[in-house]
Structure 1
Amino acid sequence: MLFDAHCHLESFANPERIVSKDMLYCTSGHTHAANVKNVAIAEGKANVAVCIGIAPQEAMKGGEFAKEIAFVRENAEKGKIDAIGEIGLDYHWARKPEEQENQRKIYGKQIQLALKSDLPIVIHGRDDEGECVRALEKFGVKKAMLHCYTGDEETAAKAVSLGYLISISPFKSKEKVKVIKRVGLKYLVVESDAPGIGKVPQDTMASVEIIAGALGISREEVIGETCANAKRFFAME
């Protein structure tokens, strides 16, 4: 079964019409408002996992985000979420040193929350994937997924050596093909990032095609293995 490991169901006007019983999903928060909506969307749906957190694009604005992180903590304690995310570092947008420091502070707080809650972490990293991975290693994180990975193959190799997953989104690049060949199917999942990159979760099939082409294997093999990887990660087995 096709598993879209990262989408934003709250961004659709009618999420109920988007979700199909023939697919699995993880819907991801990034702001407090999105977190609240995604917890509600996933409620009672066996085929929809949910991760919530404060994304770096929010964290860069500054502040402690006490209320927002408390909401994540409360839902973790209630067993209503399957991962903490998307969290991380994004220096594409955070150009000023103080913005980057704001991101690092909130990233660290949420890593610690994930460890205390015994939940995996979904990473948003851009122009700084190496620093994201080093922070995870420093804190001793065992389960992480690098969503919409656009980094180099050396950082990807480091990530999978730590047991982390690389998530492939539906746009092709030469660097992405190198990453896929370097890490292999064992450490890959697929995503749409809909409606941001893919327009709908079914566009995850484009990610499947990219992997199948890079590795010279069937789409069915990619779907089966990436689904198994995502189900293990989100404890949906």
Structure 2
Amino acid sequence: MYVDAHAHLDKYDSTLPKVIEEIEQHKIFTISVSMDPQAYIKSKAIDEHTEWVISTFGVHPWNAPTFHSQLDTLQPWIDASPMVGEIGLDYHFVSEPGDHALQREVFQYFVEQGVTQKKILNIHSKGAEADVDRILGESGASRAIIHWYSGPIRQLHSLAEKGLYFTVGVEVLSSPAIQKIAQSVPSSLLLTETDNPGGYRWLTQELGMPSIIASVVHKLAELRGWPVEETKMIVLQNFLRLVGDDKWAECVKARASGSGHPK
């Protein structure tokens, strides 16, 4: 069983049936994060048709200016979501300082809600790693996935000291900087992702499909000097440890054990 800890299934169109087929064929447990309420609605409609997908609600930092003045209206969505994400900060692709302030306001709101509800956070941190680290530290957040981390190694160590998990994704196939990060994450905090469909397309101009996760795992195994099957098992055990006894985690455990129990 593979783990794709960060994908956007709502962004597929006519290829969606093939996407679901690949997820089920290759046994890829997939977290389908959302960037806004409409994305969550679409993603939820997808996960109702497969046991291998869990959808989560969040507001992406790029969308913070739209939602910062209506945070209270998001409460029911957060309450209903098994995890919280995609949330976070982005100072790399968003250069306007005023937007950074709005991002922090929205991010802090979601972090506070996630900590209160003891939910896992799925976090974007591009170019804002220090502020993400600070906000998580101040909130006492201890259950989080840092998605596609690409920041300084020293900040990685600080986040890892908090027990936070890190995904390695498709950029590990080609980027020496990401390969170094993949080698630096403590083995007990490693997860894998695709950020499909956009992650692979951003790198190669080709549509990202779920089975690319196998290439990510093979490259991670090569970089860490581990057998491929052992690498898959390390990632799975890390994911199971992270989800713990959350109610929704039963579907993960059922897939890992080969059980056919429904969600």
Q: Distance in 1 between matches of 2:119 and 2:31?
A: 14
The residue that corresponds to 1:41 in the other structure is: 46
In structure 1, distance between residues paired with 2:159 and 2:3: 21
Deviation at 1:68, TM superposition (A): 5.5
Q: 1:213 aligns with which of 205, 219, 222?
A: 222
Higher strand share: 1
The match for 2:238 is 229
Task: State the shift of 1:16 in Å.
Answer: 4.3
- Quote the sequence identity (%): 23
Give the TM-score of the pair, scaled to structure 1: 0.90
Residues 60, 90 of structure 1: CA spacing in aligned structure 2 closer, same or farther, 3 A cutoff? Answer: farther
CA contact (8 A) 1:54 1:68 kept: no
Deviation digits for residues 124-163 of structure 1 (CA, Å, limit 9, x no counterpart): 1101112112211110001000011111211111111111
Deviation at 1:94, TM superposition (A): 2.5
Q: Distance in 1 between matches of 2:93 and 2:69?
A: 19
C-alpha contact 1:4 1:24 (8 A) present in aligned 2: yes
Give 3-state SS (helix, strand or coil) of 2:101's partner.
helix
Range with bigger deviation, 224-233 or 106-115: 224-233
Q: Is the Cα contact below 8 Å between 2:146 and 2:167 reproduced in 1?
A: yes
What is the correspondence of 1:143-182 to structure 2 with a 5 Å cutoff?
143-172=143-172, 173-182=175-184
Q: What is the aligned residue count?
A: 232
Q: 1:87-107 deviations in whole A, cap 9, x for unaligned?
A: 000012322221100000000
Aligned match of 2:209: 200
Q: Which protein has the bigger helix share?
A: 2
Find the counterpart in structure 2 of residue 191 from structure 1: 193
Normalization by structure 2: what TM-score?
0.82
The structure-2 alpha-carbon separation of the partners of 1:231 and 1:48, relative to structure 1 and needing over 3 Å to count, comes to farther
> Is the deviation greater in 170-179 or in 145-154?
170-179
Residue 55 of structure 1 aligns with an amino acid whose one-letter code is H
